[in-house]
Structure 1
Amino acid sequence: METAFKNKVAIVTGGSSGIGKATALAFAKKGAKVAVVDWIENNETVNLIKEMGSEAIFIKCDVSKTADVKTMVEKTIAAFGRLDYAFNNAGIEGTRANTFDCTEENWDKTIGINLKGIWLCMKYEIPEILKQGNGAIVNCSSVAGLIGFAGLPAYVASKHGVIGLTKTAALEYATLGIRVNVVCPGVIQTPMIDRLTGKTKEAIEQFKGLEPLGRFGQPEEIANSVVWMCSDEASFVTGHAMAVDGGFVAQ
């Protein structure tokens, strides 16, 4: 285990699977203590972190609910005494439907988790990070935050919103010691992609075809970018939207 983040504490939402799980493990490998957050009880990531000799706790949280997010931060501080980094990653794709057919329920749920959830997380994370004098937050958007994607209006709108929210927070806290950036993953091999493709060969090939590299990205490839953006190696990087993909070609 490395020690670049020794004695540092990170929160990772959506930490039980996919990009969140990979990022929680990546923080731990650098020596950080990690609060793994998800809406369904799952200790697999925590157990893996403990096996590598680092510290972790699991916190159940619905990021769209104020009380849950406030408690998430309080439990992190109670367990580890501080907060230095956050990867606000929890998100859903919502139900596929064109704009006209998108239901108000789907819209509210998707925006609530993907956009309001990130705002709530930062609302309660920022005061604790400020106490340390410096730190970093990375929010998770998507290449769908940079372009349109037919059939997912709420998802695309939420991910565009995450980029604007991130840039605003970056300006507000740049001189106060907190760097705020956003990662925009391309087509990554995660449970979300499995749901979108239905694991059918035709759909899988269609999604792979969106990437010039002709393959899905791996969660670890995103995790490495997130950890780098939190590290001292990225000390001059804030308000940046990092697209991590093979050069997305959808229009």
Structure 2
Amino acid sequence: MPLTLTVLGTASPHPGPGWPCSGYLLAGGGAEVWVDAGPGTFAALQQHTDPARLTAIWISHLHADHSTDLLSAAYAFAHGGMAPAAPVPVYAPQDCARRLAGFLGRADVDFLKDVFDFRALYDGHDVRHWNLRLTARAVAHDTEAYGLRAECQGSVLAYSGDSGPCPALAELALRADLFLCEADIDTHREGEQVHLTPEDAGRVAHQARVRRLLVTHVGPTLTRETATARAAAVSGRPTAAAVEGETHTC
């Protein structure tokens, strides 16, 4: 089974009509992993797979536009007839379970244990599901955040998550077949290094010698077309925009 990435949503910082926030379905080696759970992506996920079949969920960081549809999944699994055969492993920053429980007005997280098995990410976290290997690297954001390197039978996908410029991005993406990279901002403000410009994304792709660059998480000061063109001018690699509903093979 080839390593594939299906785009569920790319919007930043909030969803729009027919435009969910960040979320992707990663499939390969017998595994299916929901990567980031931005608002609207749980509905989009159901267009491509049965959520009860998920092997794991992987959350880059706990900002709302990347994580809040975990609530939708919790309701679906617990009350909506989509219960998985076993609790789904959720790889996320350490505070994820507590935040979800707090939103539901619960002081403890044990009531979630029948649907989710929370496992804290850390820099260098490495796990294998079937023939799919997932490795996390800490990246530069204004909260605990991780990028992802996924490897399956010789194919490699890298995902920046949300990040400013940092050495970990090029290490994460080194020679990746597909590099899914944010290009959220038009330009850096003084002292602010928590997101990438299109040129930043292109430079990382060039430095890491990736095969293809896929631009995502384009913020409201840019258009997808503009961000992709600007990244392509720097990357020297085939560059495209991530578009909802499209599937890419690594």
- TM-score bracket, normalised by the shorter chain, equals 0.3 to 0.5
**TM-score (norm: length of structure 1):** 0.37
**TM-score (norm: length of structure 2):** 0.37
The structure where strand makes up a greater share of residues is 2
The structure where helix makes up a greater share of residues is 1
